[in-house]
Amino acid sequence: MRKIWAVTLVSALLLAVVAVPLASAAGGRGWDGRGEWGGQHDSHGGCVACGFLGGLALGGILGGVLAAPYAAPPPVYSPPPPACYTQPGYWGRVPYVRPDGYTVYRNVWVPPQTVCQ
């Protein structure tokens, strides 16, 4: 139903675009009722650019209406990122107090840890 209305509308616009310049171009050159012609013997007063632009406009309207409707692709759902991650293990220096009261630092391996938020 939509396409029928579109074709009817475009046909009416096309008829109006073609009929108006032809009527205005013939307006001064017809029989004037006094027994003579209008006296204007110039070339057709049509507008070439008007016809070109009108054709582009009507073609765009007709093409837009008759084109297949665009359907967006369905959304792609991905799982959320994990809430937990694992920190790698590392060597850390830990203070150690010897029995004589002197503080030294020892290298200690800290194992990997899983952290959840």
Q: What is the DSSP string of 92-108?
A: EEEEEE-TTS-EEEEEE
> How much is the pTM?
0.27
- Average pLDDT of the residues in 63-77: 80
Q: Note the pLDDT tens digit of each residue in 19-62.
A: 655 545 555 555 555 655 555 544 555 677 888 888 888 888 88
Report residue 71: phi and psi, to 5°.
-110, 120
pLDDT given for residue 66 in this prediction: 79
Write down the mean pLDDT value for the chain.
Answer: 76
Tokens of 62: 């007709």
C-alpha 116/C-alpha 83 separation (Å) is 6
